[in-house]
Amino acid sequence: KTLIPYDFEAYKARNLIERCFNKLKHFRRIATRYDRRALYFLSFVQLACAMLWMR
C-alpha cells in the first residue's frame, strides 16, 4: 500500500461541513427545495441552522 499525502486539518474541516449538510437535508423543505425564490430558501436554511445550533 502507498499512502496518499493529505492535509489532516483540511479533511477534518471538510468532514464537519459535510456532516452539517447531512443534518440540514433531514429538513424536507430544504432537501426538496420547495421554495422557488432564493431569498426564501436562504432564510429557511438560516432558520434550520439556528434550530440545529440550539439543540
What's the rounded Cα separation, in Å, for the pair 42 and 2? 43
pLDDT confidence of residue 31: 85
Q: Band of the pLDDT at 14, cuts 50, 70, 90? A: very high
State the maximum Cα–Cα separation within the chain, in Å, rounded to a whole number. 49
Answer yes or no: is 31 within a domain.
Answer: yes
Answer yes or no: is 2 within a domain.
Answer: no
Answer yes or no: is 34 within a domain.
Answer: yes
Answer yes or no: is 40 within a domain.
Answer: yes
pLDDT confidence of residue 19: 93
Residue 13 has pLDDT above 90, yes or no: yes
Answer yes or no: is 50 within a domain.
Answer: yes
Answer yes or no: is 1 within a domain.
Answer: no
Query: What is the residue-averaged pLDDT of the chain?
Result: 90
Answer yes or no: is 16 within a domain.
Answer: yes
pLDDT in tens, 19-43: 989 999 898 888 888 888 999 999 9
pLDDT confidence of residue 10: 92
Residue 30: give the domain boundaries: 8-54
| Tally of domains in the chain | 1
